[in-house]
């Protein structure tokens, strides 16, 4: 039995549904609701059983009254196939020719439309300035885009202006011949001056929005490789140069957190360790919490130009928020 108040649907469990996990119960009765969507609703306390929050593994009893959201999020595949609406956005162009566009992506700006970010993206700004790219690429929502950066990561982002360039650039990223260098401010001081992290990366088993890194043969994982070098040391923080051969989701952030040096400002992978590191150092705590995003910047990229074959090297200057952070660390906590 179901009832609706417009924002929530009330489900009443029958005898034939008794014993189902809560996430299975919700998935089975809400049209278009996947197991992941149900799990996220439960995690975010949007699913109530008799007015109480339960875990995904809660076993439903006959007669349980379960309240769930009335709207299922639109599938990402639907968004990807939707025609892109160009927007007049102010983009910082680092390099443009007849084949390639290179943007200095600001922090907080999404590369292409996705659930929760349907407007104001890099892709829409590019489509407005360079309308010829709208039919280039594998998805209408990603015209010309050949790689991506996380929303709160800044720096060099490459797009193609022609089909030939898109094919060439995509192949270079797939074959791992593109040189990608990042700047990161991290908590703590690495014992060594440089290192290489080769921990495989996999989807977090409990939080599907996160990734994790560990040697675990029982979990499906993907090879990942991050090299790092200390550029500058402070008392309780450091600036690193990172190079990635692979391009896994959240790779640098996950790898640096795994070796005990999370990126400053990383709310996903650094909070617990940041709390411990900052506990006895109010100055460091203040600086950390003034960082409204992960202090990670795609500083440099080198690739083969799709038309001429020459090596194209592009560098994006360190953004203002990272420069302010560096000055604050040097002033307040440098050793």
Please give the CATH architecture assigned to the domain spanning 76-174. Answer: 2-Layer Sandwich (3.30)
Q: How far apart are CA 110 and CA 97, in angstroms?
A: 23
The candidate with the shortest Cα–Cα distance to 67, out of 7, 11, 6, is: 11
The pLDDT tens digits for 54-87 are 888 899 999 999 999 877 665 555 555 567 888 9
Tokens standing for 110?
């999404």
> Is 179-332 in the same CATH topology as 76-174?
yes
Position 271 scores a pLDDT of 60
Whole-prediction pTM value? 0.73
Instruction: Work out the burial of residue 90: count CB atoms within 10 Å of its CB; fewer than 13 is exposed, 13-18 middle, 19 or more buried.
Output: exposed
Architecture of domain 2-69: Roll (3.10)
CATH of domain 179-332: 3.30.2350.10
Report, as residue numbers or ranges, the catalytic residues: 150
Identify the pLDDT of residue 322: 93
Residue-wise burial string across 211-247, b where 16 or more C-beta atoms lie within 10 A, e elsewhere: bbbeeeeeeebeebbbbbebeeebebbbbbbbbbbee
**Per the structure block, which two tokens stand in for 309?**
């074959």
| Ranges of residues in the chain whose predicted pLDDT is under 70 | 1-6, 72-82, 115-116, 205-208, 217-219, 271-291, 332-335
Give me the residue spans of the domains in the chain. 2-69, 76-174, 179-332
Per-residue pLDDT tens over the stretch 287-313: 655 667 899 999 999 999 999 999 999
């Amino acid at each position: 039995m179901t009832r609706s108040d417009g924002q929530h649907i009330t489900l009443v469990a029958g005898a034939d549904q008794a014993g189902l996990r809560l996430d299975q119960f919700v998935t089975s009765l809400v049209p278009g609701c996947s197991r992941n969507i149900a799990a996220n609703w439960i995690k975010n306390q949007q699913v109530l059983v008799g007015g109480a929050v339960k875990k995904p593994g809660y076993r439903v009893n006959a007669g349980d009254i379960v309240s769930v959201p009335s709207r299922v999020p639109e599938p990402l595949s639907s968004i990807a196939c939707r025609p892109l609406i160009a927007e007049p956005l102010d983009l910082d162009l680092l390099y443009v020719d007849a084949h390639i566009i290179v943007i200095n992506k600001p922090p907080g700006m999404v590369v292409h439309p996705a659930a929760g970010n349907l407007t104001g993206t890099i892709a829409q700004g590019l489509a407005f300035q360079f309308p010829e790219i709208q039919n280039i690429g594998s998805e209408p929502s990603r015209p010309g885009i050949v790689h991506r950066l996380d929303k709160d990561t800044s720096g060099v982002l490459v797009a193609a202006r022609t089909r030939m360039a898109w094919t060439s650039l995509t192949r270079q990223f797939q074959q791992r011949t593109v040189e990608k260098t990042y700047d990161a401010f991290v908590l703590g001081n690495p014992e060594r001056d440089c290192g290489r992290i080769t921990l495989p990366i996999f989807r977090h088993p409990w939080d599907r929005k996160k990734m994790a890194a560990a040697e675990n043969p029982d979990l499906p994982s993907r090879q990942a490789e991050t090299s790092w070098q200390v550029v500058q040391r402070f008392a309780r923080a450091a600036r690193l140069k990172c190079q990635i051969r692979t391009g896994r989701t959240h790779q640098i952030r996950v790898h640096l957190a795994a070796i005990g040096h999370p990126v400053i400002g990383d709310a996903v992978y650094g909070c617990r360790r940041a709390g411990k590191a900052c506990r006895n150092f109010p100055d460091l705590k203040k600086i950390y919490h003034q960082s409204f995003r992960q202090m990670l910047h795609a500083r440099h990229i080198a690739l083969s130009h799709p038309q001429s074959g020459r090596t194209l090297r592009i560098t994006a200057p360190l953004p203002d928020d990272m420069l302010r952070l560096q000055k604050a660390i040097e002033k307040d906590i440098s050793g």
